[in-house]
Homo-oligomer: A and B are copies of this chain.
Amino acid sequence: MSTRDERLLARVALTWLAEPGTWSVHRLVQQLGPVAALDLLLDGGAPDRRLRDVVAARTGAEDARAVAVEALARTERVGARLLTPEDDEWPVRLGDLSRLVLAGASRRVDLETAPPLCFWVRGGWPLGETLDRSVAVVGARAATGYGVHVATEIGYGLAERDWAVVSGGAFGIDAAAHRGALTAGGVTVAVLACGVDRPYPMGNAALFDRIADTGLLVSEWMPGADPLRPRFLIRNRVIAAATRGAVLVEAAARSGATQTLNRAIAMGRPAMIVPGPVTSAMSVGAHELLREHSAARLVTGVAHVLEEVGRIGFDLAPPARGPDRPTDLLDDEATLVLESLPRRGVLGVDALAARAGVDLRTAMRKLTLLEELAMVIRRDGGYALAPPAKPATPAPEAQG
Q: Interface size class for chain A?
A: 35 or more
- Find out whether the CB atom of B400 lies under 8 angstroms from the CB atom of A255: no
Which of chain B's residues has its CB closest to A320's CB? Answer: B253
Is A77 located at the chain interface by the 8 A CB criterion?
Answer: no
Q: Are B278 and A150 in contact (CB under 8 A)?
A: yes
A45 → B minimal CB distance (Å)? 16
Distance in angstroms from A291 CB to nearest chain B CB is 5
Residues of B within 8 A of A321 (CB): 253-254
Q: How far apart sit A54 and B298, CA to CA, in the bound complex (Å)?
A: 45
Q: List 7 A-B contacts (CB under 8 A).
A: A53-B362, A57-B359, A170-B400, A252-B322, A277-B277, A287-B320, A288-B320
Q: A170-B400, A252-B322, A398-B201 are in contact. Are A357 and B19 (CB under 8 A)?
A: yes
The answer to whether B274 touches A400, judged by C-beta atoms less than 8 angstroms apart, is: no
Known: A297-B291, A353-B57. A228 touches B336 (CB 8 A): yes
Q: Is A98 close to B, CB under 8 A? A: no
A107 touches B (CB below 8 Å): yes
> Could you say which residues of chain B place their CB within 8 Å of the CB of A362?
53
Which of A129-137, A327-335, A384-392 lies on the face that meets chain B? A327-335
Q: Which residues of A contact B (CB under 8 A)?
A: 17-19, 50, 53-54, 56-58, 60-62, 107-109, 141-142, 146, 149-150, 168-171, 174, 193, 200-201, 204, 226-230, 232, 252-256, 274-279, 283-285, 287-288, 290-291, 294, 297-298, 300-301, 304, 319-322, 328, 331-333, 335-336, 339-340, 350-351, 353-363, 397-400
User: In the complex, A332 Cα to B356 Cα: how many Å?
Assistant: 72
Partner of A350, one of B60, B204, B331, B336: B60
Q: How many copies does the complex hold?
A: 2
Chain B residues near A304: list those with CB within 8 A: 291
Which of B58, B149, B351 touches A357 (beta carbons < 8 Å)? B58
Q: Which of chain B's residues have a CB closer than 8 A to the CB of A354?
A: 57-58, 60-62
CA distance A189 to B356 in the complex (A): 27
Across-interface contacts of A353 in B (CB, < 8 A): 57, 60-61
What is the bound-complex CA distance between A291 and B300, given in angstroms? 10
Q: Which residue of B lies closest to A360 (CB)?
A: B57
Q: Which residues of B contact A400 (CB under 8 A)?
A: 141, 168-171, 174, 200-201, 204, 227, 232
Q: Chain B residues near A108 (CB, 8 Å)?
A: 331-333
Q: How far is the CB of A38 from chain B (nearest CB, A)?
A: 16
Identify the closest chain B residue to A17 (Cβ). B357
- CB pair B254–A322 under 8 Å, yes or no, is yes
B350 and A61 within 8 A (CB): yes
Which residue of chain B is the closest to A51 with respect to CB atoms?
B359
Contact of A107 among B255, B274, B331 (CB under 8 A): B331
- A276-B277, A277-B277 as given contacts; A141 in contact with B204, CB under 8 Å: no
Q: Give the distance to chain B from A396, nearest Cβ to Cβ, in Å.
A: 10
Taken together as a complex, chains A and B put the C-alpha atoms of A336 and B19 apart, in Å, by 11
- Decide: B284 and A278 in contact? CB cutoff 8 A: no
Give min CB distance, A274 to chain B, whole Å.
6
Kindly state the separation between the CA atoms of A204 and B400 in the bound complex, as whole angstroms.
Answer: 10
Instruction: Name the residue of chain B whose CB is nearest to the CB of A232.
Output: B399
User: CB distance A274 to B284 under 8 Å?
Assistant: no
Q: How far is the CA of A383 from the CA of B230 in the complex (A)?
A: 20
Residue numbers in B under 8 Å from A335 (CB-CB): 228-230
Contact between chains at B339 and A279 (CB < 8 Å):
no
